[in-house]
Amino acid sequence: AQKVTQAQTEISVVEKEDVTLDCVYETRDTTYYLFWYKQPPSGELVFLIRRNSFDEQNEISGRYSWNFQKSTSSFNFTITASQVVDSAVYFCALSEPKAAGNKLTFGGGTRVLVKP
Amino acid sequence: DAGITQSPRHKVTETGTPVTLRCHQTENHRYMYWYRQDPGHGLRLIHYSYGVKDTDKGEVSDGYSVSRSKTEDFLLTLESATSSQTSVYFCAISYLGTENNEQFFGPGTRLTVL
């Protein structure tokens, strides 16, 4: 069975500090996808990034960066120079292969609080 | 924004009452999903659909049923609501192309069962 663990339940930082969110996953599939979603206080879920299991390149998008390491089954997310607007709950998720309906298994989420 | 709406957005009901939540999409995506969100659990899959009249169970399907008679609508029914089904329910859709398999979520429905 697939599993996603986000060990940090809540992180509190002061604006402009960097924050790294950990995500560790378990799967027996060789082909899989990893995702990060953001849930701001307004409650909607916002897609941030998708990464497939064959692409271990790190990715940067503005102040966001992602570090995918297959060897440690981790897909960590870093926010550089955090801002108050980054305050949200962040979810890491893992999808099963296409034949199984692309179902997502979510971690428990990490709440990030950025204080001014 | 993906064209996904959920109705109602908020509902309070009593134990033992049947409840139906509706998810409507305008994207013509084949795959639709129902998740529930509870503190500490992230989101957990209840049921999903891979086409009209084609549905399957997820991780937490007990006490729930679904129906999909049209591509655009996916209904979630609680036959006899219980307090443990108090939660926020999210619908999602997916294109499921070769490299476009991310799911897009609706705004959520907050359900309280008294």
Considering only CB atoms, A102 lies closest to which of B96, B99, B104, namely B96
pLDDT at site B40: 79
Which residues of B fall within a CB distance of 8 Å from A43? 88, 107-108
* Torsion sign over Cα B102, A94, B52, A99: positive
pLDDT at site B53: 92
Which residues of chain B fall short of a pLDDT of 70? 1-2, 96-100
Quick one: closest CA in B to A40, which residue? B107
Top residue of B88, B102, B109, B111 to mutate, by most chain A CBs within 10 Å, is: B102
Contact B64, B46 (CB under 8 A): yes
Contact B108, B5 (CB under 8 A): no
pLDDT tens column, A90-107: 999 999 776 667 789 999
pLDDT at site B27: 87
Is A102 in Cβ contact with B101 (below 8 Å)? yes
Which residues of chain A fall short of a pLDDT of 50? none
Q: Exposed, middle or buried, A39 (CB in 10 Å: 0-12/13-18/19+)?
A: buried
Q: Are strands A10-14 and A110-115 parallel, antiparallel or unpaired?
A: parallel
pLDDT at site B19: 97
pLDDT at site A78: 96
Buried b (16+ CB within 10 A) or exposed e, A50-74: bbeeeeeeeeeeeebbbebeeeebb
Top residue of B5, B23, B43, B93 to mutate, by most chain A CBs within 10 Å, is: B43
pLDDT at site A75: 96
